Amino acid sequence: MKKTITIFGGTGDLTFRKLLPAMYNMHVTGGEGAGYDIVIIGRRDYTSGEYRQIARDWVKQFSRLPFTEEKYKDFSEKIEYYRMDFSDPAAYEGLENYYKERGLSEHIFYFAVAPRFFSTIAEGLDGIHEAGKGKVILEKPFGEDLESAKELSRRLEEIFAPDRIYRIDHYLGKEMVRNMQIIRFTNPVFANNWNRDAVSCIQISAMEDVGVENRAGYYDTSGAMKDMVQNHLLQILSIVAMERPASFKGEDLHEEQLKVLKALRPASGETIRDMLVLGQYEGYREEKGVKPDSTTETYAALRLFVDNERWQDVPFYIRTGKKLGRREMEVAVIFRQTEENGENNVLLIKIQPMEGVYFQFNIKRPGESEEVIQTKMDFCQSCVVENRINTPEAYERLLGACMRGERSWFSQWDQIEAGWRYVSGMKRIYQEENLPIVTYAQGTSGPEAADQMLNTMGHSWFGQD
Ligand code: BG6
């Protein structure tokens, strides 16, 4: 019997850019994934040979480890293409027979498809005898809204045991996201100052230079709030703000993260304009697959408060957007300025494209002057070639964790539910108040209204803006 990973959505971007390169890396390093056969499900009419040839160029471009024809040939022999319309319930019987003929078992099913297909695939798999004993990995967003997410969760738990459902949030697989708790908790200089007395504000930025590419069909029904904020960015916020968990594993970690999400100050009609700015880049409506009158936001900036003793009244600013001037994901902890002639200390955790840690502090200008100036210590983790090669990509790490049955760094249902509740609530109030989706020019850092939201609190975005 062979271990198998079946990927629904096998001709989509995610599979080509992330999943297959991750499986290739694991094949090369001999990681968990090396022991798996890969079944690619797609509607297009390819033979396995044709598919392997198409996938080759993507793997070559996106794999972390050096590509060689020999290694790819070896790897690609594990990939089989199975043509099937996964939205057709009758098609699953054929899939079951296919598994039986090939002796494929110990399944992992990866739903790399738009969320509207999740239930259909789950129902189809319910008819396959062996499937329920397997594991399932779901891409975000989990469901289309809170109601559909709840229903989906209920149904999935009937088909697969709850501990066999892996809700992936690939930001939780990123090296520097995993590093945040070490930086904070093992350094007393930070651990002792990680609170409202010492911190002025926290900023979480996820800026992208790409647009919707060829994902408009999904993105136009989702927008930045569901695509990035509800999952990736609230996850990061909850890691930054949580209390020290009893352990950094599984339930303990989730419990503390969940407490943060539940402590987020709710928005209201009066406060929403100070809490949320939504924008759309110029030219978005002309993108292929986007509705010409679309009001989907491609940018969101939020000002949030975590109402607990540690963080009372410290703003957490979040921003994310497409077609901005640069690609940059980072978390900045801005400490309070205590001396008039000094500037704020800043701890910057750089998540991508560069990985590293930067600390800004005050010193005396060299020479006779007593002037206070700012300097920085800047550690570039990804500049060390060896680190780059040894650091698994997010998907590689998370796929490996699922294969080993490690669940700590996957999102739990209650976290997702809290995220949905919060984000949908904010969006609803924004609409009810008739607040605008502001247009912003491509290549900028987003709408000015987002800068103003910080300025009114005496803050500004840290960095190159
Ligand atoms: C995905 C979103 O989850 O994350 C995309 O659906 C976004 O819209 C992507 O581009 C960003 O991921 P990364 O790893 O490139 O920061």
Pocket-testing residue among 138, 208, 229, 398, ligand 1, by greatest number of atoms within 8 A of Cβ: 208
For atom 5 of ligand 1, the residue with the nearest CA is 227
Distance CA 277, CA 297 (A): 10
- The average confidence (pLDDT) of the chain is 94
Q: Whose CA is nearest to atom 8 of ligand 1?
A: 227
Look at residue 465 in the predicted model and tell me its pLDDT.
54
Which residues, in sequence order, are bridge partners of residue 205?
319, 330
Residue 299: φ, ψ to 5°: -145, 140
In the annotation, is 232 catalytic? yes
The number of beta carbons lying within 10 Å of the beta carbon of residue 64 is 17
Tell me the per-residue pLDDT of 363-417, one tens digit each, with 9 for 90 and over: 999 999 999 999 999 999 888 777 767 788 899 999 999 999 999 889 999 999 9
Tell the residue number behind the tokens 């996820």, with chain if given: 206
Give percent of the chain above pLDDT 90. 82
Q: For residue range 154-173, what is the model confidence (pLDDT) as tens digits?
A: 888 888 888 999 999 999 99
**Mean pLDDT on 348-356:** 95
Residue 464 above 70 pLDDT? no
Percent of the chain with pLDDT over 70: 99
C-alpha 257 to ligand 1 mean position (Å)? 21
Model confidence at 9: pLDDT above 60: yes
Among all chains, which residue has been given the structure tokens 């963080």? Answer: 311
pLDDT value of residue 221: 92
Per-residue CA distances from 169 to 55, 139, 229, 290 (Å): 24, 7, 12, 25
Where is pLDDT greater, at 208 or 369?
Answer: 208
How far is the centre of ligand 1, averaged over its atoms, from the C-alpha of 379 (Å)?
25
List phi, psi (to 5°) of 439. Answer: -85, 140
Stretch among 1-5, 209-213, 301-305, 453-457 having the lowest mean pLDDT: 1-5
pLDDT tens for 35-71 read 999 999 999 999 999 999 999 999 999 999 999 999 9
Q: Is the CB of 256 under 6 A from ligand 1?
A: no
Residue 288 in tokens: 């292929």
**Which helix or strand (DSSP H or E) is residue 253 part of?**
helix 250-262
Full-prediction pTM beyond 0.90? Answer: yes
227 lines ligand 1 (CB under 6 A): yes
Average pLDDT over residues 358-362: 96
Residue 174 assigned ligand-binding role: yes
> Averaged over 89-102, what is the pLDDT?
95
All domains of the chain in start order, with CATH: 3-168 (3.40.50.720), 171-391+412-456 (3.30.360.10)
37 close to 58: Cβ distance less than 8 angstroms: no
Quickly state the pLDDT bin for 249 (edges 50, 70, 90): confident
Q: Is 251 annotated as a binding residue?
A: no
Does 459 show up as a binding residue in the annotation?
no
